[in-house]
Structure 1
Amino acid sequence: MGYVTTRDGVEIFYKDWGPRDGKVIFFHHGWPLSSDDWDAQMLFFVNKGFRVVAHDRRGHGRSGQVWDGHDMDHYADDVAAVVEHLNVQGAMHVGHSTGGGEVVRYIARHGEDKVSKAVLISAVPPLMVKTDNNPQGTPKTVFDDLQAQLAANRAQFYYDVPAGPFYGFNRSGSAPSEAVIYNWWRQGMMGSAKAHYDGIVAFSQTDFTEDLKGISIPVMVIHGDDDQVVPYDDSGKLSAELVQNGKLNTYKGAPHGIPTTHADQVNADLLAFINS
């Protein structure tokens, strides 16, 4: 574990586990979490001989709580700083939710030469917010309300999200886990309220359509069709169609937080994809 300082002076925390000569998997976390959200994946793959890397996005987790740069271009450039610092070559980049957008923008801005494959899990591309060109999107008022709840009582908001739609714990027949809920709360509260507030705009209003069209490496899209946070029809399905070499893997009845709720299935699918 360590830190790298970006060109604009931000300290980015990262984890780098496993053999230097192992196949590399680079994990990108969702909003408003940290690299800790990948525990189930990183432990699984490091124990199979892979090299696993994950970072805390600027303003999240243990990274610097700067007031600016909370947009997809800066997120992507921060990833590039970690990749350069660790000399990561041929990695499979895996992004969950906002992290999926980060993966797409990183490839668009920095090219495919250091990337072998990409995986988008419950990811925000192509575009979440409803616009004239994206009439099936989510109304902007929904995201405005998220910002209002964060500003009013972040601690309560960060309990309500994982206790409800994030893991599908609000569905009939679900079995809510207080440990999972509080681990989400813990990760969120480690970060900066300003970064998280601005991040809502970044993940909801960034249009990744052209970025996706330009990706030629193999891309696997994993998405639950009961995702209440990033709707399946407006995101996963469209992203798999827009990339040049895409594969859609639909998890029936699954919620947004599938790296946790469906960890064994996600790990098996990632393993098969990286070895294919």
Structure 2
Amino acid sequence: MGFYIKVEPDVKIYVEDLNPDGCKTILFIHGWPANHKMFEYQFNKLPKMGYRCIGIDCRGFGNSDKPWNGYDYDTMSDDIRCVIESLNLDDITLGGHSTGGAIAVRYMARHNGYGVSKLALFAAAAPSLIQRPCFPYGLKREDVVKIIQDTETDRPKMLKGFGDMFFFQHVTEPLSDWFFQMGLQAAGWSTAAVAVTWLDEERLFSDLGEIGVPTLILHGIHDKVCLFPLAEAQHEGICNSRLVPFKYSGHGLFYDEREKFNKELVDFIEE
């Protein structure tokens, strides 16, 4: 069931709610530059197992409205709060992939984990996607600047290149095109604006220490986007966290090792 939730007077967020009567709820936040459809291989399975799965399209992406502003982590985490309040959600597992993981971390700190009893981070872009003087483990700043420039000059080419480095396991050409089309659904300005946020955002380091719920960290050791040391930093910074390396995955671990991904997530929810 798909519908819209108003998060600002002129901004609506698209929500897909699968198995609303499920026993336990998982709210998924997708990564850049995709949308909720990236979790297809979780949505195919988990509702059959009795779980309520809610996917959202972040502002600027998928079927959601695409305003000119609001692509910082504070605003995007406020959007998550609106969804949780509108649906009267409580005692949920909040899961975020890549930039969605960073938004989930900010949500936990900014909103004191409202409605969330467990957190799951999938190849999360935290505490920093890029290298900084105190954190030499991310991408080079100039590489992200090039992504922004390429987005503004030839976005389809940029998306194709990003897709080529996304998965570790072999994917078919049709699946690669499916992922590419998700990126095209976003607005060009929102795609670039979120990448600018990667450059400027430094508060996630302190946000990690604000997380007080059990946290599962799933991360591919071959990830070329959010390098594996980011997961180790998350594990070190979040009390009561568990890190599970995915030995045969890149950034798209939710597809590269989807059976393991689903099992680890379900086992965590049932703990």
How far apart, CA to CA, are the structure 2 residues paired with 1:136 and 1:56? 29
Could you tell me how far 1:21 is from its partner in structure 2? 5.5
Equivalence for 2:31:
30
Q: Write the distance in 2 (CA, Å) between the matches of 1:117 and 1:182.
A: 33
Question: Which of 210, 220, 238 is the matching residue for 1:214?
Answer: 210
Unpaired runs of 5+ residues, structure 2, are: none
Match of 1:115 in 2: 116
| Deviation readout 1:85-107 (Å, 9 max, x if unpaired) | 11111110111111100111111
Between the aligned partners of 1:93 and 1:137, the Cα distance in structure 2 is: 24
**Equivalent in 244, 248, 269 of residue 249 of structure 1:** 244
Q: How many residues align?
A: 269
Q: State how far apart, in whole Å, the 2-side matches of 1:21 and 1:147 are.
A: 40
The CA deviation string for residues 173-198 of structure 1, in whole angstroms up to 9 with x for no partner, is x5331122111111111110000001
Amino acid at match of 1:58: R
Q: 1:257-272 maps to which residues of 2 (within 5 A)?
A: 257-272=252-267
Name 2:167's counterpart in structure 1. 167
Q: Is the 8 A contact 1:124 1:204 kept in 2?
A: no
Does the 8 Å CA contact 1:4/1:11 hold for their aligned counterparts?
Answer: yes
Judge which range, 151-160 or 130-139, deviates more.
Answer: 130-139
- Write out per-residue CA displacement over residues 52-78 of structure 1, whole angstroms, 9 at most, x where no aligned residue: 111000000000011101110111011
* Counterpart residue identity of residue 11, structure 2: V
Pairs within 5 Å for 1:43-122: 43-122=44-123
Measure how far apart 1:5 and its partner are: 0.8
Change (3 A) 1:211 1:8: farther
Alignment-derived partner of residue 225 in structure 1? 221
Distance 1:43 1:35 in 2: 13
Q: Does the CA contact (< 8 Å) of 2:26 and 2:94 recur in 1?
A: yes
Within 5 Å, give how 1:188-203 maps onto structure 2.
188-203=183-198
Task: State TM-score, norm by structure 2.
Answer: 0.95
CA distance in 2: counterparts of 1:204 and 1:269, whole angstroms: 31
| Percent of residue pairs identical | 27
- SS in structure 1 at match of 2:165: helix
Alpha-carbon distance change, 19 to 66 in structure 1, aligned in 2, over 3 angstroms: closer
> What does the per-residue CA deviation read over 1:106-155, in whole Å, with 9 as the maximum and x for residues that have no partner?
11111124101011111100112222222343221010011111112111
CA distance in 2: counterparts of 1:83 and 1:238, whole angstroms: 28
Gaps of 5+ in 1: 169-173
- For 1:65 and 1:261, how far apart are their aligned partners in 2? 30
Residues 7-27 of structure 1, C-alpha deviations (whole Å, 9 max, x = no match): 353110001111335210000
Deviates more, 1:14-23 or 1:206-215: 14-23
- Measured in 1, the distance between the counterparts of 2:42 and 2:263 equals 10
Q: How many angstroms does 1:156 deviate by?
A: 1.8
The farther-off stretch of 114-123 and 204-213 is 204-213
> Helix, strand or coil: the match of 1:47?
helix
Q: Distance in 2 between matches of 1:84 and 1:90?
A: 12
**For the structure 1 residues 264 and 205, does the alpha-carbon distance in structure 2 shift closer, same or farther, using more than 3 Å as the test?**
farther
What is the letter of the counterpart of residue 25 of structure 2?
A: V
- Hey, what's the Cα distance between the residues in 1 that align with 2:90 and 2:210? 20
Secondary structure in structure 2 of the residue aligned to 1:6: strand
Whole-Å separation in 1 of the counterparts to 2:180 and 2:170: 18
